[in-house]
Amino acid sequence: MSDVTTEESAALPPSIQQVPSHLRCCAHKLSLYCTSDSNKLLNIPNTRLSIIHNQMLQKCTTIWNAANRPKFAEIIQSIIGHTLSRPGVTRWNSVYDSLKQIALNIKNPLLEVDFLYIDEYLKRSKPIAEVLDIL
């Protein structure tokens, strides 16, 4: 076990001040398990799930790409108060966080089936995403 040595550790209860050093990798491993398992399902060609997933992600990618353009980013900022996050391979939960922003803030050009899929994805991913945020 390694002791937490930051000044903030004084505010933590003693049980949290000592964290096993192997927990540093726990979030990464948990993220890898979830993404690799879901990717196995989503990469099976021509299944209803993979078709819906890919169509929804194409639409979201179009939104994320547009959000990188200065004028569109300015419009988004003025409407929702912040820019849109974009998924990144080095950020755990980034797909979850990015889809959550779209589900909460963007209504067009997505269809009802896209929102149903995003809602289901968020529902299934929420427990893992919350744990990863804590870790």
For 36-89, what is each residue's pLDDT tens digit?
Answer: 888 888 889 999 999 999 999 999 999 999 899 999 888 888 888 888 989 988
At which residue do the structure tokens 């003025």 appear?
78
Asked if pLDDT for residue 7 goes beyond 60, the answer is no
Q: Hey, where are the domains in the chain? A: 25-134
- Give CA angle at 94 (92, 66), nearest 5°: 155
Mean of the pLDDT values across residues 80-104? 87
pTM above 0.75, yes or no: no
Question: CA-CA distances (angstroms) from residue 68 to 23, 120, 122?
Answer: 35, 27, 24
Q: How far is CA 16 from CA 10, 37, 78, 81, 133, in A?
A: 10, 31, 41, 35, 16
In the numeric block, the tokens 């390694």 are attached to 2
